[in-house]
Amino acid sequence: MSALQPVRGTQDLLPEQMRRHRHVVDTARRTSLLYGFEEMATPVFEFTEVFARPIGETTDIVSKEMYTFTDRGGEEVTLRPENTAGVVRAVLSNGLVQQAPLKLFYAGPMFRYERPQKGRFRQFHQIGIELLGVAQPQADVEVIACGARILAELGILGRTVLELNTLGDPASRQAYREALVAYYRQHEDRLSEDSRRRLERNPLRIFDSKDEADKRVAEGAPPFAEYLNDTSKSFFDEVRRGLDALGIEYKVSPRLVRGLDYYTHTAFEFVTRDLGAQGTVMGGGRYDGLVALMGGPEMPGVGWAAGIERLAMLVDEPPPPRARRRP
Model pLDDT for residues 234-278, shown as the tens digit of each residue = 999 999 999 999 999 999 998 887 656 567 899 999 999 887 766
Global pTM exceeds 0.95 = no
Q: In what helix (H) or strand (E) does residue 313 lie, and over which residues does it extend? A: helix 308-314
Closest to 152 (Cα-Cα) out of 273, 58, 31, 20: 31
Instruction: Give the side-chain half-sphere CA count within 13 A for 319.
Output: 3
Average pLDDT (209-224) is: 87
Domains, the chain: 15-168+229-314 (3.30.930.10), 170-223 (no CATH)
Average pLDDT (21-49) is: 96
Q: What are the φ/ψ torsions at residue 281 (nearest 5 degrees)?
A: -105, -20
- By percentage, how much of the chain surpasses pLDDT 90? 61
The helix, strand and coil proportions of the chain, stated in percent and rounded to the nearest 5, come to: 40, 20, 40
Measure the CA–CA gap between 59 and 80, rounded to whole angstroms: 15
- Strand locations in the chain, DSSP E? 38-39, 45-47, 68-70, 76-79, 102-111, 123-132, 161-166, 251-252, 264-271, 280-286, 301-307
* One-character DSSP codes across 46-115: EETHHHHHHH-TTSHIIIII--EEE-TTS-EEEE-S-SHHHHHHHHHHTT-GGG-SEEEEEEEEEE--S-
Measure the CA–CA gap between 207 and 189, rounded to whole angstroms: 17
**pLDDT for the residue 233:** 96
**pLDDT for the residue 173:** 84
Res 54 pLDDT > 80: no
Res 9 pLDDT > 70: yes
**pLDDT for the residue 278:** 63
Look at residue 198 and give its three-state secondary structure: helix
Look at residue 42 and give its three-state secondary structure: coil
Measure the CA–CA gap between 133 and 144, rounded to whole angstroms: 16
Q: Find out whether 315 and 23 touch, Cβ atoms under 8 Å.
A: yes
**pLDDT for the residue 274:** 82
Neighbour tally for 255: CB within 10 Å:
14
Over the stretch 159-189, which tens digit does the pLDDT of each residue have? 999 999 999 998 888 888 889 899 999 988 8
Rg (CA), the chain: 20
Average pLDDT (304-315) is: 94
Over the stretch 12-29, which tens digit does the pLDDT of each residue have? 999 999 999 999 999 999
**pLDDT for the residue 105:** 98
In whole numbers, what is the pLDDT of the chain averaged over residues?
89
Measure the CA–CA gap between 168 and 286, rounded to whole angstroms: 10
Closest to 129 (Cα-Cα) out of 140, 137, 119, 118: 140
pLDDT-derived band at 279 (thresholds 50, 70, 90) equals confident
**pLDDT for the residue 119:** 61
**pLDDT for the residue 258:** 66
Over the stretch 95-145, which tens digit does the pLDDT of each residue have? 999 999 999 999 999 999 877 666 678 999 999 999 999 999 999 999 999
Res 61 pLDDT > 70: no
Measure the CA–CA gap between 131 and 137, rounded to whole angstroms: 12
pLDDT-derived band at 64 (thresholds 50, 70, 90) equals confident
